[in-house]
Structure 1
Amino acid sequence: MSQQDASSVRALSERLLIASHKGQADHVVQLINKGAKVAITKNGRTPLHLAAYKGHIAVVRILLAAGCDLDIQDDGDQTALHRAAVVGNADVISALIQEGCALDRQDKDGNTALHEAAWHGFSQSVKLLVKAGANVHAKNKAGNTALHLACQNGHAQSSKVLLLAGSRPDSKNSVGDTCLHVSARYNHVSVIRALLGAICSVTERNHAGDTALHIAAALNHRKTVRMLLEAGADSRFKNNVGETALDQARENDNPEVALLLTKAPQVRNMFSLYKVSHTGLEITTLGKH
């Protein structure tokens, strides 16, 4: 190829990046037919990365039909599937899955596409990924599963989908937190209900020796404290510095929580009160077909 021809191909390829980003499907076809090759942006992203993120499904299908590499990773080690999951582009995710993309590639932080969808609460995207066989047990570099991330951000629907798909609520991250610890820290009551309904443990301790009850008591999360007590949490457990949840409530000047904890035996009730109905999330919808 002459220098002039190479320069022409580079120009076409750069225009392909722009057209893909803008969703100009007809222009993308023309550029490919003229010989445009796959170029990358300064962030290492291909036309497929750009179209997937923007939700340009027609362009995505054209690029896939043209043989674009599904699993190229950008400078942050994200694939086109990651980019679609970040923004919940379910149609794009479905197209990439049908084409046979890798489901569990991890980015520089160890996150898979499922982590991204769960973090942002895109439950339909989460459902598509788990149905296709994405690994619900994969952990990122902080030791978090997708369920940890859904719980942290209070995404109850995504949490329920992950639980039905077999995600383990008592799995621990790098600081020893289970999903219940995380939910209690951020006071996400609806997520806590889902976890309790999935029969999670209320007695697990993190690396500091804290149970979820310790955390909720320290942060003055009264409703969460009550729910945990009703589910059987033991207010007498001590952490690594010998403190109970009541000690932490008093230290943090949370008198109402402290009073609740002193009445713990009266508050405790049958765990079955918190069994959750997973309405609209039939287990059969998550199985492979």
Structure 2
Amino acid sequence: MIDVPRRLRRAILLNDLTLVQRIIRNNPYYLRNPDFADKSNTSLHLAATHGFLEIAEFLIESGHEDEGISRNNDWDTPLMLAAAAGKGDVGLLLMKRFPECLAWTNRLGMDALMLAARSSTPLPLLTALISNNPSILSTRDIDGNTALHHASAAGEHMSLRLLLQYGANPMATNNFSWTSVHYSANNAVEAYFKSLIMDMEKKRVEGQRGIRERERQKHGGVRLVTNDEAMGRVSGERQRAKDDAAVAGLPQPGMPGNWSPVQQRRAMTPTETRAGWFNSDGNRARAHSGD
């Protein structure tokens, strides 16, 4: 006969809510049921990973997290695993029920937003993670990577756009002085990423120009122009030219620029194993560089 822990895990994997309910009601001691052969993932970890919403709801209502939020051997919470697997519905449930764990990180210093940003996570979960904890945009893992670094390395277009819209800094560098653009998964992602940055910078410049124009109109009217005002107008025109040059000076999508560290050669991605980030002489290897 199959033992209770194995039967419960099998019932969860089958997404059989009725069977899960029967097993737990007859064996309440096995509610959390950590699997020591699988990083000590609990019943809720398993349901979250596979996106089984009804089972997750039942486990929570049955008191699964009453003694504390579950964390496996890697310090991952069920929310982190749901985010990593791109399971939006379960992720939203866990986020609403346990908001205190939004800023928690695992052993690698990664939070739920980082894990979601590099997965094909539905936008509602990504938006909710940021809206409920805006400071999470600047959180860094143990290597200094932000959620934007991970989204870039994974080539997740929607994540890149959303993170930038909410104010993620594309110029933020990690512990190795690499920006998120350096980690672009491929040339197409790099071109798309740069176009987003250019659009964002263009809107910023246009916004500043609009403010100056409104200020000018507010003090408008027919009047004599003094030398000081004339100089101010010339200065304003110079500032406008400077702003236009700043936008024009950004690297164009698909064209060589100063983004890549060595002639468009890319940094190792944040998803590589840490052991593979350095070569034998202690220097950090670059992908496609031959180092």
Instruction: Give TM-score scaled by structure 1 length.
Output: 0.63
Which of 6, 9, 12 aligns to 2:4? It is 12
CA distance 1:212–1:23, shift in 2 (3 Å): farther
8 Å contact from structure 2 (residues 154, 185) kept in 1: no
CA distance in 1 between partners of 2:10 and 2:85 (Å): 20
Structure-2 residue corresponding to 1:215: 260
CA distance in 1 between partners of 2:185 and 2:95 (Å): 34
CA distance in 1 between partners of 2:257 and 2:77 (Å): 35
8 Å contact from structure 1 (residues 130, 136) kept in 2: yes
Which whole-Å deviations, capped at 9, do the CAs of 1:96-154 have from their partners, x for residues lacking one?
Answer: 11212411221121111111111124252322321332611111111100011112222
Structure-2 residue corresponding to 1:39: 33
CA distance 1:220–1:34, shift in 2 (3 Å): closer
CA distance 1:33–1:118, shift in 2 (3 Å): same
The 10-residue stretch of structure 1 (18-27 or 116-125) with the greater mean CA deviation from structure 2: 116-125
The CA deviation at 1:193 is 1.1
Structure-2 residue corresponding to 1:284: none
CA distance in 2 between partners of 1:123 and 1:62 (Å): 23
Q: How many residues align?
A: 208
CA distance in 2 between partners of 1:62 and 1:180 (Å): 42
Which of 30, 41, 46 aligns to 1:50? It is 46
Instruction: Give TM-score scaled by structure 2 length.
Output: 0.63
Structure-2 residue corresponding to 1:84: 82
Structure-2 residue corresponding to 1:197: 199
Q: Secondary structure of 2:137's match?
A: coil
8 Å contact from structure 1 (residues 44, 75) kept in 2: yes
Q: Secondary structure of 1:96's match?
A: helix
The CA deviation at 1:86 is 1.4
8 Å contact from structure 1 (residues 53, 89) kept in 2: yes
CA distance 1:100–1:176, shift in 2 (3 Å): same
Which whole-Å deviations, capped at 9, do the CAs of 1:63-98 have from their partners, x for residues lacking one?
Answer: 011111273111121111111111111000111112
8 Å contact from structure 2 (residues 76, 106) kept in 1: yes
Which whole-Å deviations, capped at 9, do the CAs of 1:32-53 have from their partners, x for residues lacking one?
Answer: 2113322111221000000111
8 Å contact from structure 1 (residues 17, 40) kept in 2: no
Query: Over the residues paired in the alignment, what is the CA RMSD in angstroms?
Result: 3.2
8 Å contact from structure 1 (residues 185, 219) kept in 2: no
CA distance in 2 between partners of 1:220 and 1:88 (Å): 30
Q: Secondary structure of 1:198's match?
A: helix
The CA deviation at 1:19 is 1.7
Structure-2 residue corresponding to 1:68: 64
What's the % identity of the aligned pairs?
23
The CA deviation at 1:56 is 0.9
8 Å contact from structure 2 (residues 108, 141) kept in 1: yes
CA distance 1:129–1:86, shift in 2 (3 Å): same
The CA deviation at 1:24 is 1.3
Structure-2 residue corresponding to 1:129: 129
Q: Is the counterpart of residue 30 in structure 1 residue 25 in structure 2?
A: no
8 Å contact from structure 1 (residues 81, 113) kept in 2: yes
Q: Secondary structure of 1:78's match?
A: coil
CA distance in 1 between partners of 2:34 and 2:138 (Å): 32
The CA deviation at 1:217 is 6.6
CA distance in 2 between partners of 1:216 and 1:184 (Å): 15
CA distance 1:86–1:126, shift in 2 (3 Å): same
CA distance 1:172–1:220, shift in 2 (3 Å): closer
The 10-residue stretch of structure 1 (161-170 or 91-100) with the greater mean CA deviation from structure 2: 161-170
The 10-residue stretch of structure 1 (10-19 or 60-69) with the greater mean CA deviation from structure 2: 10-19
Specify the code of the residue in structure 2 equivalent to 1:92: V
Higher alpha-carbon Rg:
2
CA distance 1:48–1:176, shift in 2 (3 Å): same
8 Å contact from structure 1 (residues 49, 80) kept in 2: yes
Structure-2 residue corresponding to 1:150: 151
CA distance in 2 between partners of 1:220 and 1:136 (Å): 27
Gaps of 5+ in 2: 205-245, 250-255, 267-288
CA distance 1:119–1:220, shift in 2 (3 Å): closer
Structure-2 residue corresponding to 1:5: none
The 10-residue stretch of structure 1 (90-99 or 192-201) with the greater mean CA deviation from structure 2: 192-201
Structure-2 residue corresponding to 1:108: 107
